[in-house]
């Protein structure tokens, strides 16, 4: 009898430890700490843990690996919703929606399974967000909780004009759980998107204060502080984010981005060089180095790196207007004004934002500084002809 009691106690302890590891692993996925999530979950032999390992792999853009993980439990409905996510990631919406219908038809009254279906729709692209909203509402009718409110808010946020309902649900999540770090992060992000940086900062700070282990508020605080010109605070927060994150390649990219944006150009270059030296080459590293080298007047190095970036970046969708604007400026500073102008034209055609005044003006002033007055006049003219907020000074220089 004593041996049986010991065995039961041991099994109980193992169960408790597994439950704690699962909870921790899920939180790591929510906090985008995917490598730590996989380590935490790998010790648990269950369909649920397997599912979250798959989500972590999707978070790392390892979609094929995630598919293999989900297929370990082919009859488990939750892991089938993981395959739904894989299909949406692979742009195979038709097959994804067919699989959703199959799961829903077999689980019409099984709200826990339907919750995973709704999440698969909400956290990918290509599904019916109204279906996700309807499922979340049914769950809330049975048992209202902060976690479901956040998910419902996220579903509304994917819909055109859904920001108001998203905010209502995030605020309801805070009412239900006043210490919910993720809810405050979501509220902060809505304010950030509305360019209300003070309210964004307030809520990101609450998110940070309510869970010291959540790295996401520090990343968001860094971005918000950048936009209000508090570069030292932006740098402090991105460094704290790095400390709490998995320090993955993507985390380090975010760090270098903030270093560049906050004018820490030399450090941004150093961080990219460290990654390249470690054999972790990605095209964007050359972009960050080129931008930063231009700003510290290392024009020859900037030209080398921006051209390496264009050569190595095979995905045209990842090219942005600023790439051509910087390339033009770099070429001009290397004594190639005609080639520079060709890239400025590419920037102007590609940039669809309404207010390009600073871009036009920066090109014109660059040409004016090198006494290329005809080209300076042309770009001042572009500003005056295309924009309503051009100033009298712009018109003066246009001539």
For residue 220, tell me if it sits in a domain: no
pLDDT mean across residues, the chain: 88
For residue 38, tell me if it sits in a domain: yes
Q: Out of 111-115, 192-196, 246-250, 272-276, pick the least confident.
A: 246-250
Cβ atoms 219, 238 nearer than 8 A? yes
With residue 366 as reference, give the H or E element that holds it: helix 357-369
For residue 329, tell me if it sits in a domain: no
Q: What 8-state DSSP symbol labels residue 264?
A: -
Query: Does residue 99 carry a pLDDT above 80?
Result: yes
Q: pLDDT by residue (tens digit) across 209-255?
A: 999 889 999 999 999 999 898 999 999 999 999 999 998 888 888 89
Domain limits for position 11: 1-73
For residue 3, tell me if it sits in a domain: yes
For residue 96, tell me if it sits in a domain: no
Check which CATH number belongs to the domain holding 66 and give it: 1.25.40
Query: Does residue 167 carry a pLDDT above 70?
Result: yes
Residue 360's pLDDT band, with cuts at 50, 70 and 90, is confident
pLDDT of residue 6: 41
For residue 378, tell me if it sits in a domain: no
Query: Does residue 189 carry a pLDDT above 90?
Result: yes
Query: Does residue 132 carry a pLDDT above 50?
Result: yes
pLDDT of residue 309: 97
pLDDT of residue 4: 43
Contacts by residues 33-42 (CB-CB < 8 Å, ≥ 24 positions apart): 33/215, 33/245, 33/246, 34/59, 34/60, 34/246, 34/248, 35/60, 35/246, 35/248, 36/246
d(CA 258, CA 245): 15
- Mean pLDDT value across residues 82-96: 97
For residue 388, tell me if it sits in a domain: no
Q: pLDDT by residue (tens digit) across 47-66?
A: 999 999 999 999 999 999 99
d(CA 389, CA 191): 26
pLDDT of residue 383: 66
Q: pLDDT by residue (tens digit) across 339-354?
A: 998 998 898 888 877 6
Residue 10's pLDDT band, with cuts at 50, 70 and 90, is very low
For residue 185, tell me if it sits in a domain: no
- Mean pLDDT value across residues 144-151: 96
pLDDT of residue 7: 38
pLDDT of residue 239: 94
- Percent of the chain with pLDDT strictly greater than 90: 71
What's the structural domain count of the chain? Answer: 1
Query: Does residue 17 carry a pLDDT above 50?
Result: no
């Amino acid at each position: 009898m004593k041996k049986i009691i010991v065995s039961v106690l041991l099994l109980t302890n193992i169960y408790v430890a597994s439950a704690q590891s699962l909870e921790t692993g899920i939180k790591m996925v929510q906090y985008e700490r995917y490598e730590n999530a996989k380590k935490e979950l790998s010790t648990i032999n269950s369909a649920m843990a397997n599912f979250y390992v798959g989500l972590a792999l999707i978070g790392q853009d390892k979609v094929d690996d995630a598919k293999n993980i989900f297929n370990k439990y082919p009859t488990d409905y939750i892991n089938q919703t993981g395959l739904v996510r894989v299909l949406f990631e692979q742009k195979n919406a038709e097959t994804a929606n067919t699989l959703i219908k199959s799961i829903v038809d077999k689980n019409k009254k099984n709200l826990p399974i339907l919750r995973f279906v709704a999440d698969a729709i909400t956290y990918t692209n290509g599904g019916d967000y109204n279906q996700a909203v309807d499922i979340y509402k049914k769950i809330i009718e049975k048992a209202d909780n902060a976690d479901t409110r956040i998910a419902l808010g996220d579903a509304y946020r994917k819909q055109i004009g859904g920001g108001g309902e998203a905010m209502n649900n995030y605020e309801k999540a805070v009412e239900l759980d006043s210490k919910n770090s993720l809810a405050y992060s979501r509220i902060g992000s809505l304010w950030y998107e509305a360019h209300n940086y003070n309210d964004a900062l307030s809520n990101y700070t609450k998110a940070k204060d309510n869970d010291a282990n959540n790295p996401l508020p520090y990343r968001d605080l860094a971005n918000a502080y950048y936009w209000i010109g508090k570069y030292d605070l932006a740098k402090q927060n991105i460094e704290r984010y790095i400390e709490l994150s998995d320090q993955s390649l993507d985390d380090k990219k975010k760090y270098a981005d903030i270093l560049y944006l906050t004018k820490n150009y030399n450090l941004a270059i150093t961080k990219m060089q460290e990654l390249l030296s470690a054999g972790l080459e990605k095209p964007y590293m050359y972009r960050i180095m080129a931008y930063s080298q231009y700003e510290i007047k290392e024009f020859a190095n900037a030209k080398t790196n921006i051209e390496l970036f264009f050569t190595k970046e095979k995905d045209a969708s990842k090219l942005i207007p600023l790439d051509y604007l910087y390339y033009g400026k770099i070429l001009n500073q290397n004594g190639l004004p005609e080639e520079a102008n060709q890239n400025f034209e590419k920037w102007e055609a590609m940039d669809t934002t309404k207010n390009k005044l600073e871009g036009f003006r920066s090109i014109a002033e660059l040409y004016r500084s090198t006494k290329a007055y005809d080209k300076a006049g042309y770009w001042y003219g572009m500003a005056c002809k295309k924009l309503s907020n051009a100033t009298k000074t712009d018109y003066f220089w246009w001539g």
